Structure 1
Amino acid sequence: MNQLTRIVSPALPLLVAAACDRAQMRFLDFFTANIRNPHTRRAYGRAVTDFLTWCADQGVSGLGEIRPLHVSAWVEMQTRSHAAPTAKQRLAAVRHLFDWLVTGQVVPVNPAASVRGPSHIVKRGRTPVLAPEEARTLLDAIDVTTPIGLRDRALIGLMVYSFARVGAALAMKVEDVYVQNRRLWVRLHEKGGKRHEMPCHHNLETYLHAYIDGCGLGEDPRGPLFRTIGRGTGELTQSPLPQANAYAMIGRRAAAAGIGTKVGNHTFRATGITAYLKNGGTLERAAAMANHSSTRTTQLYDRRSDEVTLDEVERVLI
């Protein structure tokens, strides 16, 4: 039991710890058996732990005593300290947990089922996007005479030219870069276990060949493609590069290239999609290349309207 609780949090919330063994196991099963994505598991774990701890602080003594009033008050508190999307996600975590507890006959009803989250309508994404010239400057500024430089250029290039999510890129094995029809292809492992294959842009093909051949990764096809760098050695290790390290690397590379935009891992996905659409690509094709199930999601990455807005602003001649 103690080993399982570490997957969710260091200790069970007080209301869960005070419940019977069957309720505790059902709670743990929600995270271990029901949720497969580790990022969702962490986010949901934080949310439900926060909610159940808050309930205990309000004098609730058991899971069965939680009412919609408690959920509503907690959600209202979340909207004051978090953005609307975060509050909606945290409410979803609580709602899904209690759905799971109801089907497991731990509690009779789901107190979060009738609670509405804050309104949130998204028509334009908030991810910062680089101009093509900035992206080119960033890639050219990387010193590729070292393994870390070859790795960083290949990773950034992969996200720009294949519209890859950073999670899918970092999950790649060396064998996920392969030749087909005399061109280099990449195999991305997307959310929900979906596999997405894309041919490489000629620049990306150059970057990946230089990285794999220069670092001798071809001899380890089952090993991670993007790896950490050993301390003091400057050489690649056998450990996959964590997402937080990739984020820190991107910040350092952008600062070194003199880019003022606050970039993140998702910036390059949005940058690639916007550049593709500006050069005559269609929204439908962009959605297929980005492995989006709907073009509405792809539209959130389309920042072509930014240029129109800037042009109109400059008409204010004062």
Structure 2
Amino acid sequence: MTTLPTLLFQRVPALVVAAGERASLRFLEFFAAQIRNPHTRRAYARAVGDFLAWCEAAGVPSLMAVQPLHVATWVEGLTRTHAAPTAKQRLAAVRHLFDWLVTGQVVPLNPAASVRGPRHVVRVGTTPVLDAAEARALLDAIDATTPGGLRDRALIGLMVYGFARVGAALAMRVEDVYVQNRRLWVRLREKGGKPHALPCHHTLEDFLVAYLDGAGLRGDPKGPLFRTLGRGTGQLSARPLPQASAHAMVRRRVAAAGIETPLGCHSFRATGITAYLKNGGTLETAAVLANHASTRTTQLYDRGEAVSLDEVERIRI
């Protein structure tokens, strides 16, 4: 079996092994049973692996010997080489692991519980976004006469007009695009498997209908909505499109449209939310459409206070 923790760790870290078989089992259960999101699991595995390797190099003999000073020193080192959010995330991974080990009676206390991460305050999001004209130009530049072009336009359109996270979009089945009250709707499964349904913007509806009809997908309702292209054929396969391939596609489409802004998949979601707020949309509704748990997250996409080029040009020297 090569899933879950066995994919994350080729071997259990030495400090965990030194704590005994029970500690090793509890350690693996943390990743298998406590963390359902595969992206979070990978990130936490990297963070925990890095910390335990650091402790081993520092001469810490076992898990029970890990002290708050060790955690604090490791975090201090992270802040010199990584951004504050990265250091905070890695500290959170270590803290959660030791919480799990404490409740499993592997260690008596959580050495990370009293360690504070670096201060990080975000008022405006840093994800690059496109203005409306650039986003439209990119979508118009996609050749929609091929299955690949229809797919790419529909996927990017879903992220722009439906505020979809790329992971949720790629997890969709054909049946997740459906008609309700004479309008096309999409059903997404967001973080934690939470279902999220919303009606389509008329442009997104056009993109999805053209994709479903042009690619002949309607006869396979249980199949993946976004699929890979067969090697050398240019036709859609039955395999779902991996996230890495979606990111590569976005880079190709951005370059082909002559856009120099470094964009990722999340930039399209951010572009849609930003455009909605600029055109008078409310934070509360935007939070619902984006499936945010709090309007504080949605507010990061409000670039209303950003300094405009006109203001900068007032500096006449």
Structure 1 and Structure 2 fold alike (TM over 0.5) = yes
CA contact (8 A) 2:5 2:31 kept: no
- 1:179 matched to which residue of 2? 179
Cα distance between partner residues in 2 of 1:5 and 1:79: 28
CA contact (8 A) 1:51 1:74 kept: yes
Amino acid at match of 2:23: A
SS in 1 for 2:188: strand
- 1:296 matched to which residue of 2? 296
SS in 2 for 1:224: coil
The offset of 1:311, in angstroms, is 2.3
Cα distance between partner residues in 2 of 1:286 and 1:111: 40
Alignment pair present for 1:194 and 2:194? yes
- 1:257 matched to which residue of 2? 257
- 1:80 matched to which residue of 2? 80
Q: In angstroms, what is the RMSD of aligned CA positions?
A: 1.3
Alignment pair present for 1:134 and 2:134? yes
Alignment pair present for 1:317 and 2:312? no
- 2:157 matched to which residue of 1? 157
- 1:267 matched to which residue of 2? 267
Change in 2 beyond 3 A, CA 1:134/1:2:
closer
- 2:112 matched to which residue of 1? 112
SS in 2 for 1:167: helix
Cα distance between partner residues in 1 of 2:3 and 2:16: 16
The offset of 1:5, in angstroms, is 4.0
The offset of 1:147, in angstroms, is 0.8
Cα distance between partner residues in 1 of 2:12 and 2:104: 18
The offset of 1:4, in angstroms, is 5.8
Deviation by residue 1:254-274 (Cα, 9 ceiling, x = unmatched): 110001111111111111111
The offset of 1:314, in angstroms, is 1.3
Deviation by residue 1:138-194 (Cα, 9 ceiling, x = unmatched): 000001111110000000000000111111111111111000001000001111221
SS in 2 for 1:217: coil
Deviation by residue 1:17-59 (Cα, 9 ceiling, x = unmatched): 3331111110000000000000000000000001001101111
Deviation by residue 1:81-117 (Cα, 9 ceiling, x = unmatched): 1100000000000000000000000011100001110
Structure 1 segments unaligned to the other structure (5+ residues): none
Cα distance between partner residues in 2 of 1:309 and 1:133: 16
Cα distance between partner residues in 2 of 1:272 and 1:293: 18
CA contact (8 A) 2:144 2:150 kept: yes
The offset of 1:283, in angstroms, is 1.6
Amino acid at match of 2:282: T
Amino acid at match of 2:311: E
Cα distance between partner residues in 2 of 1:181 and 1:101: 51
Cα distance between partner residues in 2 of 1:124 and 1:78: 24
Cα distance between partner residues in 2 of 1:176 and 1:40: 25
Amino acid at match of 1:311: D
The offset of 1:309, in angstroms, is 3.1
CA contact (8 A) 1:4 1:28 kept: no
Amino acid at match of 2:255: A
Amino acid at match of 2:256: A
SS in 1 for 2:264: coil
Cα distance between partner residues in 2 of 1:271 and 1:111: 41
TM-score by length of 1: 0.97
Change in 2 beyond 3 A, CA 1:267/1:2:
closer
The offset of 1:8, in angstroms, is 2.3
Structure 2 segments unaligned to the other structure (5+ residues): none
Aligned residues: 317
The offset of 1:3, in angstroms, is 6.3
Percent identical: 72
TM-score by length of 2: 0.97
Cα distance between partner residues in 2 of 1:312 and 1:5: 53
**Counterpart mapping for 1:238-253 below 5 A:** 238-253=238-253
Cα distance between partner residues in 1 of 2:7 and 2:41: 8
Amino acid at match of 2:314: R
